Amino acid sequence: MPAHLIDSLATTESLAEIFADDSVLQAMLDFEIALARAEARVGIVPKSAAEKISTVAREAEFDVPALSHAMFRAGTAAIPLVKALTDKVRARDKKAAGWVHWGATSQDVTDTALILLLKRAYPILVGDLQRLGKSLVELSEQHKATVMLGRTLMQAAPPITFGLKVAGWLGALHRGTKRLESAWSGALVLQFGGASGTLASLGDKGTVVAQALAEELGLSCPEAPWHTHRDRLANLVCSCGILTGSLGKMARDISLLMQTEVGELAEPGGEGRGGSSTMPHKRNPIACSLTLNAAQRVPPLVACFLAAMVQEHERAVGSWQSEWPVIASIVQSTGVATASMAEAAEGLTVHAERMRQNIENTRGLIFAERVMMLLAAELGRDVAHRLLEDATRQSIAQNKRLSAVLQGLPEVASHIGPSVLEQLEIPEHYLGSAEAFRKALVTCRTRKNQER
């Protein structure tokens, strides 16, 4: 199912389908089916009634607009759904209708339905995360020796390799994926507590039914109901927020490196991708735009969820009712950011020659630190720093290479030989531990995949 127009930049087609009306409705019905089956297993509900409830829930058609209207009036999705399901079961079997929703409360339905939707959404995210990780490993290896400007506070700095930059993205992705995996696994738990979270209406069989219900739905059974304890979901949405922020950092880097005057990277293009409605020459950073859109949208949504954690007693007034749209938006935003960056990484064009040219365009100024450290051993750091400040100003004012300016300074010539100055501006000679750091980041991610 395609997304609504207003949501088209905030989700993917597969995630839009999961959070679509029919899917949400089915998740709630799946809870009711599993509840009847579980209670039949432990001898509470007649097996014939459970079978009738299951059949009707699977086959009957529900008026979604009417349910939506009734949900607004009821203040919860469960009440009108249970009523509608009961009516439809009653039309086929009056006795079976009396067993619909036995022992459950409204929040049991809506919370567990949400968890079922999250369970379906996770493999979609994992697939795109794996695509992205694989592409980043390949990019990093391919460009481990591709030198480029380091940039600090948006200004040229000593050189790095593009392989290291990519490995930095990969490291954040790896950490974010681990965090998300743990949080998602911890959140996939059943909600079943009845009116006050004690399952009193089921007598001494409450925990047995809960375990059977969790098994029916393929969820974990928690130690106790969690109606007003939202920490597991909070951990999940916070993990989504961190991951989306890391993807946003990657998108920011790529989009900046795509600027015309920089020209070091280019997103994949193609029919209908990256164009402009007025400027035929444009190749816009669309994947980056979608990702940054998500990275800007998610943090306040996470804050909204965290604010709603302060809930009253055994059932909250307004707080948990706010969560469905918030969580759905966070998950879909995380999904669109992940899918977009996977697409960008898989087709990223790297202009290595432009990267080297941009280094050359600094006329050697980015190597001032290198000379300063050489002179500091003889003159002291403060003196060397002042000397290089003067030399760089002269280089800029005279439009000369830094090495040429330095060759004319007696203070430099007396301590640094001509051969050293001639080798000064070779970027490969001033990369420090770049490759060691790159290997460590890539190896960490690769080892984790092998362990799986």
- Direct distance between the N- and C-terminal alpha carbons of the chain, in angstroms, rounded to an integer: 32
Is the confidence at residue 286, as pLDDT, over 50?
yes
Is the confidence at residue 135, as pLDDT, over 90?
yes
Instruction: State the Cα–Cα distance between residues 214 and 203, nearest whole angstrom.
Output: 18
Is the confidence at residue 202, as pLDDT, over 50?
yes
Do strands 349-350 and 147-152 pair parallel, antiparallel, or not at all (unpaired)?
unpaired
Percentage of residues in the chain with pLDDT exceeding 90? 83
Domains recognised in the chain with CATH numbers: 1-104+199-219 (1.10.275.10), 109-189+226-359+440-452 (1.20.200.10), 365-424 (1.10.40.30)
The model's pLDDT over 210-248, given as tens digits with 9 standing for 90+, comes to 999 999 999 999 999 999 999 999 999 999 999 999 999
Is the confidence at residue 15, as pLDDT, over 80?
yes
pLDDT band at residue 253 under the 50/70/90 scheme: very high
Question: Alpha carbon of 134 to those of 319, 339, 342: distances in Å?
Answer: 40, 13, 9
Q: Exactly one of 283, 315, 354, 356 is catalytic; name it.
A: 315
pLDDT band at residue 7 under the 50/70/90 scheme: confident
pLDDT at 276: 47
What's the pTM? 0.93
> Angle between the 231-257 and 286-307 helix axes, to the nearest 10 degrees?
150
Is the confidence at residue 275, as pLDDT, over 60?
no
pLDDT at 379: 87
Instruction: State the Cα–Cα distance between residues 49 and 246, nearest whole angstrom.
Output: 51
The DSSP output letter for 315 is S
Q: Exactly one of 48, 185, 201, 276 is catalytic; name it.
A: 276
- 360 Cβ neighbours under 8 A, 6+ residues apart: none
Instruction: State the Cα–Cα distance between residues 275 and 267, nearest whole angstrom.
Output: 12
Q: Map tokens 């790297």 to a residue.
A: 350
Helix (H) or strand (E) holding 48: helix 47-59
Instruction: State the Cα–Cα distance between residues 423 and 361, nearest whole angstrom.
Output: 17
Chain CA centroid to CA 400, Å:
46
pLDDT at 282: 55
Say whether 315 is catalytic: yes
pLDDT at 408: 87
pLDDT band at residue 420 under the 50/70/90 scheme: confident
The DSSP output letter for 417 is -
Is the confidence at residue 334, as pLDDT, over 60?
yes
pLDDT band at residue 98 under the 50/70/90 scheme: very high
What average pLDDT is seen over the chain?
Answer: 93
Backbone angles phi, psi at 105, to 5 degrees: -125, 170
The model's pLDDT over 63-72, given as tens digits with 9 standing for 90+, comes to 999 999 998 9
Is the confidence at residue 161, as pLDDT, over 80?
yes
Is the confidence at residue 1, as pLDDT, over 80?
no
Is the confidence at residue 279, as pLDDT, over 60?
no
Left if phi > 0, otherwise alpha if psi is -120 to 50, otherwise beta: which for 101?
left
Kindly report which listed range (230-234, 360-364, 447-451) carries the lowest average pLDDT score. 447-451
DSSP annotation string for 338-383: HHHHHHHHHT-EE-HHHHHHHHHTTTTGGGHHHHHHHHHHHH-HHH
Q: Higher confidence at residue 448 or residue 392?
A: 392
The model's pLDDT over 365-388, given as tens digits with 9 standing for 90+, comes to 999 999 999 899 888 999 999 999
pLDDT at 337: 98
Q: Write the single-letter amino acid at 156.
A: A
Instruction: State the Cα–Cα distance between residues 327 and 4, nearest whole angstrom.
Output: 17
pLDDT band at residue 5 under the 50/70/90 scheme: confident
- Averaged pLDDT, 275-303: 83
3-state secondary structure of 330: helix
Say whether 419 is catalytic: no
Percentage of residues in the chain with pLDDT exceeding 70? 95
Kindly report which listed range (46-50, 330-334, 400-404) carries the lowest average pLDDT score. 400-404
pLDDT at 89: 97
User: 10 Å Cβ neighbour count for 290?
Assistant: 22
Contact 100, 85 (CB under 8 A): yes
Is residue 140 classed exposed, middle or buried when 0-12, 13-18 and 19+ CB atoms within 10 A define those classes?
A: buried
Q: Higher confidence at residue 292 or residue 423?
A: 292
